Structure formats: structure tokens, C-alpha cells
Amino acid sequence: MAIFNLGSINVDHVYQVPHLPLPGETLAALGLTTGLGGKGANQSVAAARAGAKTFHIGAVGSDGGWIFEQLRGFGIETTHIATLTGPTGHAIINVDRAGENAIVLLPGANFGLEQSHIEAALAAALPGDILLLQNETTLQSETARSALSHGLRVIYSAAPFDIAAVRAVLPFISMLVVNEVEAAQLTAAIGKPLTALAVPDIIVTKGAQGAEWISAGTEPLFTPAFRVKPVDTTGAGDCFIGSLAAALDRGLTRPAAMRYAAAAAALQVTRPGASAAMPTRAEVETFLSQH
């Protein structure tokens, strides 16, 4: 089986700051690192590092040639990544001493893909494969509809939250993933609880409090987070989702897949950066054997 991911590719500019800036405040950064990021790329790296055959569908600008080499180094298939005119997407990320972050995005090439490119990528997918989606590209609902018609399992991260995007994609997804803030935004927008949504599976991530899997007709499955000292929480949710998708792809049960994803995210936040901090399957399994 395989994972296909229509996802953003960004260049992350990560500034270490004494605290997150207040409105109107100017801060002197304590340090700067630059590297591969974007919710999509992060999820692809997490899935590939967890052992899944991973195909990324996306785009970079004319300045993004180095990204292909990095993604291939993580074991990701890059055939379906286009090079477009204009800049690669990028993110300005402030990280404070407690590991909390605040992020500003420029979409760049992430908003330049055409449906024909996506259809060509999905032509290689087989029934039972997984499609990952987030809200940092265009064409989510169209891609989800096409993937569903191909028999793929569609896992959608409703982030960054946009109610119009969520409404458009909901009819075509197998699993919705939201954090606590996004869950509150969604329920407020629709005026109903999450359980009223016509989605087979819903994951609510709760950071250091763990994550919950909600399915119609079954008791919610709660998985606690592992206690670690965070260094940088950037990409933790992406690590959880990519790792969960990989675990499901190789046939793990719901409890085992959730525990694997929780362990991967716990390891990831103990390291600086996003994509570069994603743990390997061997690292996660060692961690699990010790906890």
C-alpha cells in the first residue's frame, strides 16, 4: 500500500525568541535556522520515516531545487512535485523558550497546482491507498472527490482552519483531524457537535493532553501523550498525523496506531525543527519498548 499527500512545501525560517512577540513589539532573535517545512512536507516526512511508501503531490518555485534532494533523502517519491514560476512557499516561525510557536505563511507555489497535475498523480494510486490533505494548498475538495472515486482512504487535516474549505471537503473524506482549537471553531461554525458530522472517523489532538479517536457507533478511544520535555513544538501535529497514517497503512489496530503516533510526536518535540526532527520507525519502536 502507499500514501499520497497533496501538501504544502515551505522553507521554514525559524527564529528563537525570548517570548512570542506582542502587538507592536520588536524583539531581538536569539538564533535562526532555515530548513524544509510546510504541513504537507512535514506529514510526508513523518509517514516516510515511519516506513510508508510516500508520494508527495505539490509544487515549489524556481528557487526550490534543493528541496527535491532533501525529500528524496527522507525516502519520499518526488515525481509528482512541479516546479513553477514564482517563489516557493515559506514560513516565518517564532519559537519561545518553552517551545511554543507563532507562524506566518506565504503560500507561494503551494497555490499554483492545476487539477490535471493532481489527476496524473492519483492515476498511480490503488484502492486502499491513503490520501493526506491539509489547508495549505488549493484543490482540496476536488482532490478528495477524485481520491474517493479511486477507492482511497482520505485523511484531512483542517488546518489552518477555514470553514469554507472544511465544508467543501467534508463530503469526500474518511477521517477528519482537528486540534482542540479547530474543533471548537468547527462546532461553533456548524452549530452541532463533531459527532453530528457525516464523517466515519474524527481525530481530535490535544497536545500534551493526548488525542481522541471518535467513530460512529463505538466508544471514543483516548490515547494519552507521553511525558517529555519539549524543545520545539513546530510540526508536532503533522508528525502525529503522518505517523498515524503510516501505522494504519501497515495494518496496525486503532489503539496501536494511535500509540505509535503519540510516541512519534513525543520524540519529535524533543528536537529542534519540523521535518528534520521526525523520528524513524526504529526510533519510535525503541521509545515504545521503553515506555
Assigned C-alpha cell, 111: 497555490
Across 48-185, the runs of DSSP E, i.e. the strands, are 54-60, 76-77, 81-83, 89-95, 101-106, 130-133, 153-157, 175-179
Shortest CA distance to 238 belongs to which of 80, 59, 31, 10?
A: 10
Shortest CA distance to 257 belongs to which of 245, 247, 243?
A: 247
Q: Please confirm, yes or no, whether 96 is among the known catalytic residues.
A: no
Which of the residues 96, 129, 232, 238 is marked catalytic?
Answer: 238
Using DSSP bridges, classify how beta strands 101-106 and 89-95 pair: parallel, antiparallel or unpaired.
antiparallel
Q: Is the Cβ–Cβ distance between 278 and 242 less than 8 Å? A: yes
Cβ neighbour number for residue 185 with a 10 Å cutoff: 17
DSSP state of 170: G
List residues with catalytic annotation: 238
